[in-house]
């Protein structure tokens, strides 16, 4: 493909991305999108409609439009857990698309800069660059902890944890609690970079969140616990970690 064709393809992709993201300017679609982004599992039309205060028909229209725009992905499953004759038709379920939209006007390429930095860290045979990266990540994590402290001074563990979740939400992590009370993150802010530099980026992320978890005053511990479609780091309540160690189970 020659340069002219590549440039035309890039311009066409930019136009498509702008149109797709622009559709979230509609408050109804934004409400539906935000609801689905908060769900750990795909959700159906009825759930989305109820959350956004819409009729099922109107919700279905907007959901399917966002599927066409590449903002959502669709799957089908029987919600009853039954299978075979009489189990009913599979429900149409929606979740936020894994596709990323990067729009910058004028064009910028911060991801390229991040890849260059990551390559430099990985190629340093002395380990000095990686140590500096860990130290820098810890400093940013300490800033998160300080923000939690500012918003929740002398509060209960539960309140501090809730404020920490709020601060992490503002940083793009999209935290939620699983059935064990473990705080997991639906989004990794460094996902694209982690694909090519897993060890370096996940180590950086762990160092950052270890310092952030210090705001819980020992109630939470950051551990590496990779799960499909989730951030590689989880924040585990100390009581859960202790219980699992006694039972011979480990998150690491």
pLDDT the model gives residue 252: 47
The CATH number given to 110-246 is: 3.30.1380
Alpha carbon distances (Å) from 247 to 183, 234, 242: 20, 19, 9
pLDDT tens for 132-146 read: 999 999 999 999 999
Band (32; pLDDT cuts 50, 70, 90):
very high
Q: What is the mean pLDDT of residues 169-188?
A: 92
Which pLDDT does position 81 carry in this prediction?
60
Task: Among 36-50, 104-118, 156-170, name the one with the lowest average pLDDT.
Answer: 104-118
> Which residues does 223 contact at the CB level (< 8 Å), separation at least 6?
206, 233, 234, 236, 241, 251, 252
Strands ordered across the beta sheet of 91-96:
43-44, 91-96, 72-77
**Which DSSP category does 180 fall into?**
T
User: 94 — phi, psi (to 5°)?
Assistant: -125, 145
Q: Are 233 and 185 in contact (CB under 8 A)?
A: yes
Domain with CATH 3.30.1380 in the chain: 110-246
- pLDDT tens-digit series, residues 218-228: 899 999 999 98
The model's pTM is 0.75
pLDDT of residue 222: 96
Q: pLDDT tens digit string along 188-240?
A: 999 889 989 999 999 999 999 999 999 998 899 999 999 988 999 999 998 77
The fold adopted by the segment(s) 3-96 is: Arc Repressor Mutant, subunit A (1.10.10)
Tell me where in the chain the CATH 1.10.10.10 domain(s) lie.
Answer: 3-96
Which residue would you say has higher pLDDT here, 127 or 100? 127
Residue 81 CA to residue 41 CA, distance in Å, equals 15
pLDDT band for position 244 (cuts 50, 70, 90): low
């Amino acid at each position: 493909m020659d340069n002219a064709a590549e440039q035309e393809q890039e311009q066409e992709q930019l136009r498509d991305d702008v149109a797709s993201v622009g559709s979230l300017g509609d408050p109804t679609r934004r409400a539906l999108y935000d609801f689905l982004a908060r769900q750990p599992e795909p959700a159906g039309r009825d759930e989305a409609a109820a959350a956004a205060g819409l009729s099922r028909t109107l919700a279905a229209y907007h959901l399917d439009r966002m599927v066409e725009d590449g903002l959502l992905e669709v799957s089908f499953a029987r919600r009853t857990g039954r299978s075979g004759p009489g189990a009913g038709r599979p429900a149409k379920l929606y979740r936020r698309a894994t596709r990323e939209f990067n729009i910058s006007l004028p064009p910028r390429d911060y991801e390229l800069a991040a890849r260059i930095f990551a390559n430099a860290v990985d190629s340093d045979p002395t380990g000095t660059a990686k140590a500096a990266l860990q130290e820098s990540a810890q400093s940013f994590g300490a800033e998160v902890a300080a923000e939690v402290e500012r918003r929740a001074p002398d509060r209960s563990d539960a309140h501090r944890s809730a404020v920490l979740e709020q601060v992490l939400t503002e940083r793009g992590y999209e935290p939620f609690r699983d059935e064990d009370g473990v705080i997991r993150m639906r989004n990794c802010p460094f996902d694209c970079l982690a694909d090519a530099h897993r060890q370096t980026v996940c180590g950086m992320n762990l160092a950052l969140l270890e310092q952030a978890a210090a705001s819980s005053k020992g109630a939470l511990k950051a551990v590496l616990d990779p799960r499909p479609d989730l951030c590689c780091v989880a924040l585990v309540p100390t009581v859960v970690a202790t219980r699992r160690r006694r039972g011979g189970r480990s998150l690491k």
